Amino acid sequence: MIPENAPQWLKDATTENAVVEIQDGWVIWLGGNFLGGNFLGGNFLGGNFLGGNFRGGNFRGGNFLGGNFLGGNFLGGNFLGGNFLGGNFLGGNFRGVQITALRAYASLYRYQVGAAITPDGVRWVRMGCLWKTLAEWEKVGIRKSNLEEFPDDGSERCEERVAAFEFIKAAALRLPVPTNSNTK
């Protein structure tokens, strides 16, 4: 149930079985499904975020299944889809992999790119829909990883993707190894 004192953006959102509290002007989402709209502030403590934009506050649990995460802090739960465009990823799962840190960037090439590190120090790189460990990327090579869409032909499109990969690879290598990791 959306409380009467909720902000208009929340009243306009598409929700299902919402359990929400409003405290000092902050929205605290305790459960249910946020199916669409813009979550513009407050704390998301549980339930499922299935679409729209999350623009601030804290996501502390539940599942993020789509939409855009544009700011705030992601403190746990599962990030299964959508775009992570800002804020702080402080733990949880991204595409089924437990990670401790995530960096995401848009506009480097046609698709979003991202870098992550797991608790055991394994580095991951996302290039659009492709999500692999850095070791897997090194094995196949960026130029040979998606020849159907990005032929290795020296074109601007190809070289832009290669440059985006080099950028995100460097970002992955800069992520700090978790202190409890066995990786050096």
What pLDDT sits at residue 184?
A: 47
- The tens digit of pLDDT for each residue in 116-156 reads 999 999 999 999 989 999 999 999 999 999 999 999 999 99
* Under 8 Å between Cβ of 102 and 93: no
Would you state the pLDDT for residue 117? 96
The residue ranges of every structural domain in the chain are: 8-174
Question: Which pLDDT score is estimated for 46?
Answer: 82
Residue 54's DSSP bridge partners are: 39, 69
Name the pTM for this structure. Answer: 0.75
For the purposes of burial, counting CB atoms within 10 Å of the CB of 146, is it exposed (0-12), middle (13-18) or buried (19 or more)?
A: middle
